[in-house]
A and B are shown apart, each in its own frame.
Chain A
Amino acid sequence: MKRILILFSIINFQLSICEAQVGAPYIHDPSTIAECEGKYYTFGTGGGGLISEDGWSWHSGAERPGGGAAPDVLKIGDRYLCIYGATGGGLGGGHNGRILTMWNKTLDPKSSDFKWTAAIEVASSDGMEDQDAIDPSLLLDPTTGRLWVSYGTYFGTIRLIELDPATGERVKGNVEKDIAIDCEATDLLYRNGWYYLLGTHGTCCDGVNSTYNIVVGRSKSVEGPYIDNVGRDMFHGGGRMVIAAGDRKTGPGHFGRTIIDEGVEVMSCHFEADFDMSGRSTLGIRPLLWRNGWPYAGEQFKGGTFEIESERRGYSLELVVDFVRMEQERQRFWQIDPNEPVKAIPEQKLEDVIKGWSEGEIPVRLSDYMFRPWQRWTVTPVPEAGGYLGGPYYRIVIAGTERALTATANLEVTTSPTFTGSPEQLWRIEQLTDGTFRIMPKAIPGRDGLNTRYVLYSIADSTPTLAPYDFSSDNSKWNFRSH
Chain B
Amino acid sequence: MKRKSRSALAVFMVLAFLTAKAQNPVIRDQFTADPTARVFNGKVYLYPSHDIIPPAGQRQDWFCMADYHVFSSENLTDWIDHGVIVSQEKVSWGKVDGYSMWAPDCVQKDGKYYFYFPNGPKSGRGFAIGVAVADSPEGPFVLEPEPIKNVMGIDPCVLIDDDGGQYIYWAGGPMRGAKLGDNMKELAGPVTTMEGLPDGFKEGPFVFKRGGLYYLTFPWVRQEKGTETLAYATSKSPLGPWDFKGIIMAEHANRCWTNHHSLVEYEGQWYLFYHTNFFSPKDDKRRSVCIEKLAFNADGTIQEVKPTMRGVGINQATERIEIDRYSSSDDVQTAYVDTANTLRGACVTLLKKGSWVRYDDVDFSSIIDGYLVINVMAHDNTQLCVREKSVKGKVIARAPVTVKSENGPFHRDMSGQWLTLTAPLEYTPKGIADLVITCEGDAISVDWLRFKNRPKYFSEVGKNAAPAQPDNQGFIRRWRLMEPIAIDVRSNVVFTNSWLRDRFSDELVKLNGKSQKHKVKWYLLDSENYNVKLFRFAEKYGKQTYGSFFWCETVIDCPADIENVRLACGSNGASMWWLNGEEVLLLEGDRRMVEDDGMSQRLTLKKGRNILRAAVINGPGLSDMCARFLDEKGRPITNYTIVND
Contact = CB atoms under 8 A, between A and B. Distances in A.
Contact of A154 (B341, B405, B621): B621
Interface in A224-239: 232-233, 236-238
A94 to B, nearest CB: 8
B420 A118 contact: no
A416 B578 CA distance: 71
Contacts of B340: 118
A468 interface: no
Interface string A180-222: 0111000000000000000001111110011100000000000
Given A118-B341, A203-B494, A211-B590, A236 B595 contact: yes
Interface stretch (B52-60, B233-241, B407-415): B407-415
Contact of B402 (A91, A118, A236, A238): A91
Given A128-B454, A182-B593, A238-B594, A88 B419 contact: yes
A209 B420 contact: no
Nearest to B475: A236
A127 B422 contact: yes
Interface string B570-605: 101000000000000000011011111100000000
A176 interface: no
Interface in B230-279: none
Contacts of B405: 91-92
B622 interface: yes
B41 interface: no
B595 A89 contact: no
A383 to B, nearest CB: 34
Given A237-B570, A237-B592, A89 B419 contact: yes
Contacts of B211: none
A471 interface: no
Contacts of B609: none
Contacts of A415: none
A42 to B, nearest CB: 25
With most chain A CB atoms within 10 A of its CB, the pick from B341, B371, B420 is B420
A205 B595 CA distance: 25
A91 B593 contact: no
A90 B452 CA distance: 18
B494 A91 contact: no
A126 B373 contact: yes
A154 B592 contact: yes
A46 interface: no
Contacts of A89: 414, 419-421
B622 A205 contact: no
A124 B420 contact: yes
A237 B454 CA distance: 23
A124 B592 CA distance: 24
Interface residues of B, number: 38
Nearest to B374: A126
A186 to B, nearest CB: 14
B341 A237 contact: no
A48 interface: no
Contacts of A206: 492, 494
A61 interface: no
A206 B494 CA distance: 10
Contact of B494 (A204, A205, A209): A209
A96 B621 contact: no
Contact of A237 (B407, B419, B595): B595
B542 interface: no
B135 to A, nearest CB: 37
B403 to A, nearest CB: 8
Contacts, number: 89
Nearest to A129: B455
B590 A202 contact: yes
Contacts of B589: 211
Contact of B572 (A182, A209, A233, A236): A182
Given A88-B419, A182-B572, A130 B622 contact: yes
Contacts of A203: 492, 494, 590
A211 B494 contact: yes
A237 B371 contact: no
A275 interface: no
B373 A237 contact: no
A116 interface: no
Given A92-B405, A92-B408, A182 B420 contact: no
Interface in A462-477: none
Interface residues of A, number: 35
Contacts of B590: 202-203, 211
Tell me the dominant secondary structure on chain B's binding face. loop
A272 to B, nearest CB: 11
A92 B414 CA distance: 12
A127 B452 CA distance: 12
A201 B570 CA distance: 14
Given A96-B420, A203-B494, A154 B622 contact: yes
B596 A130 contact: no
B407 A92 contact: yes
A118 B594 CA distance: 39
A233 B594 CA distance: 10
A313 to B, nearest CB: 45
Nearest to A233: B595
With most chain A CB atoms within 10 A of its CB, the pick from B405, B533, B595, B621 is B595
Contacts of B592: 154, 182-183, 201-202, 237
A88 B420 contact: yes
Nearest to A181: B593
Interface string A81-117: 0000000111111001010000000000000000000
A197 B624 CA distance: 23
Interface string A42-58: 00000000000000000
A234 to B, nearest CB: 10
A423 interface: no
Contacts of A279: none
Contacts of A124: 420
Contact of B452 (A88, A128, A156, A209): A128
A205 B492 CA distance: 8
Contacts of B536: 130
A126 B420 CA distance: 7
Given A130-B455, A232-B595, A237-B593, A156 B422 contact: no
With most chain A CB atoms within 10 A of its CB, the pick from B418, B419, B531, B572 is B419
Nearest to A183: B592
Contact of B421 (A96, A155, A181, A232): A96
A203 to B, nearest CB: 5
A366 B585 CA distance: 58
A238 B371 contact: no
Contacts of A98: 420
Contacts of B570: 237
Contacts of B572: 182
Nearest to A156: B622
Nearest to B453: A128
A118 B596 CA distance: 45
Contacts of A236: 530, 594-595, 626
A183 B597 CA distance: 14
A155 B414 CA distance: 22
Contacts of A237: 570, 592-595, 597
Closest 10 CB pairs of A and B: A237-B594, A89-B419, A236-B595, A182-B592, A88-B420, A211-B590, A206-B492, A126-B373, A128-B422, A127-B422
Interface of B: 340-341, 371, 373, 402-403, 405, 407-408, 412, 414, 418-422, 452, 454-455, 492, 494, 530-531, 533, 536, 570, 572, 589-590, 592-597, 621-622, 626
25 contacts: A88-B419, A88-B420, A90-B412, A91-B403, A98-B420, A118-B341, A124-B420, A127-B422, A128-B452, A154-B592, A155-B622, A156-B622, A181-B531, A206-B492, A209-B492, A209-B494, A210-B492, A211-B589, A211-B590, A232-B594, A236-B530, A236-B595, A236-B626, A237-B593, A237-B597
Given A91-B403, A237-B570, A238-B595, 8 more contacts: A89-B414, A91-B412, A96-B419, A96-B422, A124-B420, A206-B492, A236-B594, A237-B594
